[in-house]
Amino acid sequence: MSSTVNYTQHDAVALIALDRPDALNGFTTELCDDLLAALEKARHDDLIRAVVLTGEGRAFSAGADLKSGFEGTRNTEGKLHYEYRPPLTAIAQMPKPVIAAVPGFAAGIGLSFVLQSDLVLMAEDAFLLSPFSTISLVPDGGANWLLVRQLGYHRAYQLAVEAERIDAQRCVELGLANKTAPATELRSAAIAWGKELSQRAPLSLAATKKVMRAAMQQDWASCYDLEAELQEQLRNSSDAEEGVAAFFQKRQPNFQGK
């Protein structure tokens, strides 16, 4: 669909692959625009139930394309607000689960896109990296917020300022990734995971994503109220009726997202 992003469909799973392998999928203005378009396409396609985000070649992404970043027409703050933020927001607001499948490594803004995803599958030889202290910059793309909430302040700060390569197994131990797969099987494993999720009730997946993301920044009472509101909406849905009927009839439910 573009020169920097590949979009393919595998049954109910959309595979979105960053496609600048010669530049280790470094982010440019064009890549941000194309990625946003791909995410919006997946969001509005009723046949898509899950999304896999990955990179072509030997890396998920090396981060910002520094040449593009320093020579571009926008200043750094403008790039963060108008280029990186829209696709990052699209991942958070998409009602479908987004699985980041990480080949090789994800660094800089690439790390932020991995952490922003709902689920993370890493190749066994892959790693995550926040390299900003080596080039006198601050972690961006929401990485500070995400790392602190997932790791706690002390560990997040250490990993950021020491620019440590966090290998796949360590990422699983720290909760930065869900699981690993052999590098040669990464993409097929991610698609298979997406297909498994596509069999779950889509309204339930969307509501759970909404309330859990809200839980990261709201108090218990607000989260409880949102749960109650969403539960009432789902309880009156056709999919809830289908799920209960399938349970008693001991068959696979046929969810329609309604």
- Average pLDDT on 38-56 reads 97
Residue from 131, 154, 155, 130 nearest 143 by CA: 130
Task: Assign domain 202-249 to a CATH class.
Answer: mainly alpha
Q: What is the pLDDT of residue 2?
A: 75
Domain limits, the chain: 5-198, 202-249
CB 233 within 8 A of CB 246: no
pLDDT at 72 over 60: no
pLDDT at 67 over 90: no
128 phi and psi angles, rounded to 5 deg: -110, 150
Least confident of 46-50, 58-62, 63-67, 106-110: 63-67
Q: What is the pLDDT of residue 82?
A: 86
- Average pLDDT on 22-27 reads 96
Least confident of 8-12, 102-106, 130-134: 130-134
Tokens standing for residue 52: 């896999």
Largest Cα–Cα separation, the chain: 63
Q: What is the pLDDT of residue 77?
A: 81
Q: What is the pLDDT of residue 36?
A: 97
CATH number for the domain formed by residue range(s) 5-198: 3.90.226.10
CB 61 within 8 A of CB 5: no
Q: What is the pLDDT of residue 74?
A: 58
Q: What is the pLDDT of residue 66?
A: 77
Q: Report the distance separating Cα 117 and Cα 111, nearest Å.
A: 10
Question: What 8-state DSSP symbol labels residue 13?
Answer: E
pLDDT at 47 over 90: yes
Least confident of 91-105, 109-123, 138-152: 138-152
Q: What is the pLDDT of residue 85?
A: 95
Q: How confident is the model at residue 183 (pLDDT cuts 50, 70, 90)?
A: very high
- Average pLDDT on 131-140 reads 91
SS3 127: strand
The chain-wide mean pLDDT, for the chain, equals 93
pTM of the predicted model as reported, rounded to 2 decimal places? 0.93
- Average pLDDT on 115-137 reads 96
Q: What is the pLDDT of residue 71?
A: 47
- Average pLDDT on 18-45 reads 96
Tokens standing for residue 159: 């990993």
**CA neighbours within 13 Å on the CB side: how many for 120?**
28
Tokens standing for residue 48: 């898509």
Beta partners for residue 16, in sequence order:
7, 53
Tokens standing for residue 225: 């109220």
